[in-house]
C-alpha cells in the first residue's frame, strides 16, 4: 500500500530533468500540487560524483511529500547508495524505467529496462528492500520497441515485489515524444493490477487530465509539460474537480509567476549559475503568447537578479493572450 496520497484530487508534479528543481516544485505546490518528484538523479552519480548530483536533491521542510527519482540499471548500486539517502531523511523513491535519452539508456536504465524485465524488477526490489514497502514506485512506458508492449507483465511483477504505485507514460521508449499518448493502455493497466496507477502523457490542460481519469479509471495524474508552461494548471484542475480549498489558489499571471519563480530561485540558490538557469527558463511561461519574442530577448539581456525582477514586473502590466 502506498504511503503517499494517490487519488484524482491529489495531482502530482512529474519528474522533469532540468526543471523540477526545488523552486519550481514550490511554485507548483503553492498552486495545488500534492506530491512532487525531483528531476531524475543518477544512482551512480550519487556514488562517484557527489556534489553536482547531490545538488539535484536540494529540498526544504515545505517541499513535502517528495519523491526522489533515481535512474541506473544495476541493483547493487541501489543497495550501496540508497541507505545514505534514507538516513538523510528522503522517504519516497521512484525508479525511472521510461526515459528514452541516450545518456540514460547507456547506463542500462530508463526505458532500456523494458528490454530486460528481470533487471527492472530486481532493481525495483533492491529499492523496496532499502526504503521499505509503501515507499517505492516505478515509472514505465508501454515497452521499448514500438508495438512491443510488455508493461502488463512488468507491472504485475512489480506489484508482487512490493512496488507501491506504477506511473505509466503510454508511449514506447523508441517513440520518445512522437505521436500521441495511448490512454487506452492506461485503462488496461488499471484493470489488471491492484496497486495505484498514475497516468502521465499529453496532459497539457486541466480538462485533459479530467478526461484522462474519466476514460481510464486510473487513480491519479501527473502533470509534466502542462505544468512547465503554466504551474497554475494544478489549481485549474482542482477547481474543475470542484475542490473548494482551491478558491484562494493563484490563477495564471505571467508576470507574477515569473516574479515568484525568480524570488524563490534566488532564495534557494543565489549563485550565477542559478541566475543563468532561471533566465533561460522564464520565457517558456510565455510560450504561444503574442509578444513572446520581445519578452525572450528582454529577459535574456538581463545581467543580474534585480534587472530580471524588473522585467518580470513589467510583463505583469501587459495583457498577454496565448495565440
Ligand X SMILES: Cc1cc2nc3c(=O)[nH]c(=O)nc-3n(C[C@H](O)[C@H](O)[C@H](O)COP(=O)(O)O)c2cc1C
Comparing CB distances to ligand X, the nearer of 230 and 255 is: 230
Whole-angstrom Cα distance, residue 196 to residue 84?
27
Whole-angstrom Cα distance, residue 200 to residue 142?
12
Q: Which residues bind ligand X (CB under 6 A)?
A: 14-19, 39-40, 69, 96, 98-99, 139, 169, 200-203, 224-226
Distance of closest approach, residue 177 Cβ to ligand X, in angstroms: 7
Comparing CB distances to ligand X, the nearer of 178 and 272 is: 178
Question: Helix 272-281 to helix 305-317 angle, to the nearest 10 degrees?
Answer: 20
3-class SS at 43? helix
* Residue 99 annotated to the active site: yes
Distance of closest approach, residue 303 Cβ to ligand X, in angstroms: 26
Cell of 207: 480538462
Q: Where are the alpha helices (DSSP H) in the chain?
A: 22-29, 43-48, 51-55, 75-87, 102-105, 117-131, 151-160, 183-192, 206-216, 225-229, 233-240, 254-268, 272-281, 292-300, 305-317
Comparing CB distances to ligand X, the nearer of 138 and 302 is: 138
Distance of closest approach, residue 67 Cβ to ligand X, in angstroms: 11
Distance of closest approach, residue 112 Cβ to ligand X, in angstroms: 13
Comparing CB distances to ligand X, the nearer of 35 and 311 is: 35
Whole-angstrom Cα distance, residue 99 to residue 152?
18
User: Looking at the annotation, which residues are catalytic?
Assistant: 99
Amino acid at each position: 500500500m502506498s504511503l503517499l496520497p494517490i487519488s484524482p484530487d491529489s495531482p502530482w508534479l512529474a519528474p522533469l530533468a532540468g526543471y523540477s528543481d526545488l523552486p519550481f516544485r514550490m511554485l507548483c505546490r503553492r498552486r495545488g500540487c500534492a506530491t512532487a518528484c525531483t528531476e531524475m538523479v543518477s544512482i551512480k552519480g550519487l556514488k562517484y560524483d557527489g556534489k553536482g548530483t547531490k545538488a539535484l536533491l536540494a529540498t526544504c521542510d515545505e517541499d513535502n511529500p517528495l519523491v526522489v527519482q533515481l535512474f541506473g540499471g544495476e541493483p547493487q548500486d541501489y543497495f550501496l547508495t540508497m541507505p545514505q539517502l534514507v538516513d538523510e531523511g528522503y522517504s519516497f523513491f521512484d525508479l525511472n524505467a521510461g526515459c528514452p535519452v541516450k545518456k540514460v539508456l547507456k547506463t542500462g536504465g530508463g526505458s532500456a529496462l523494458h528490454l530486460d524485465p528481470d533487471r527492472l524488477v530486481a532493481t525495483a526490489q533492491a529499492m523496496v528492500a532499502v526504503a521499505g514497502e509503501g515507499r517505492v514506485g516505478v515509472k514505465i512506458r508501454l515497452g521499448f520497441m514500438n508495438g512491443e508492449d510488455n508493461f502488463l507483465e512488468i507491472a504485475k511483477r512489480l506489484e508482487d515485489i512490493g512496488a507501491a504505485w506504477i506511473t505509466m507514460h503510454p508511449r514506447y521508449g523508441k517513440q520518445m515524444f512522437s505521436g500521441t499518448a495511448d490512454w487506452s493502455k492506461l485503462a488496461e493497466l488499471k484493470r489488471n493490477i491492484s496497486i495505484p496507477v498514475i497516468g502521465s502523457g499529453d496532459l497539457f490542460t486541466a480538462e485533459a487530465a479530467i478526461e484522462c481519469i474519466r476514460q481510464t479509471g486510473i487513480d491519479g495524474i501527473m502533470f509534466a509539460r502542462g505544468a512547465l508552461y503554466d504551474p497554475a494548471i494544478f489549481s485549474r484542475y482542482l477547481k474543475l474537480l470542484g475542490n473548494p480549498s482551491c478558491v484562494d489558489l493563484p490563477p495564471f499571471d505571467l508576470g507574477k509567476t515569473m516574479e515568484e519563480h525568480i524570488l524563490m530561485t534566488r532564495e534557494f540558490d543565489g549563485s550565477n549559475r542559478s541566475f543563468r538557469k532561471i533566465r533561460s527558463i522564464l520565457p517558456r511561461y510565455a510560450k504561444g503568447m503574442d509578444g513572446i519574442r520581445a519578452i525572450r530577448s528582454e529577459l535574456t539581456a538581463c545581467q543580474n537578479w534585480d534587472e530580471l525582477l524588473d522585467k518580470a514586473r513589467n510583463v505583469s502590466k501587459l495583457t498577454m493572450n496565448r495565440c
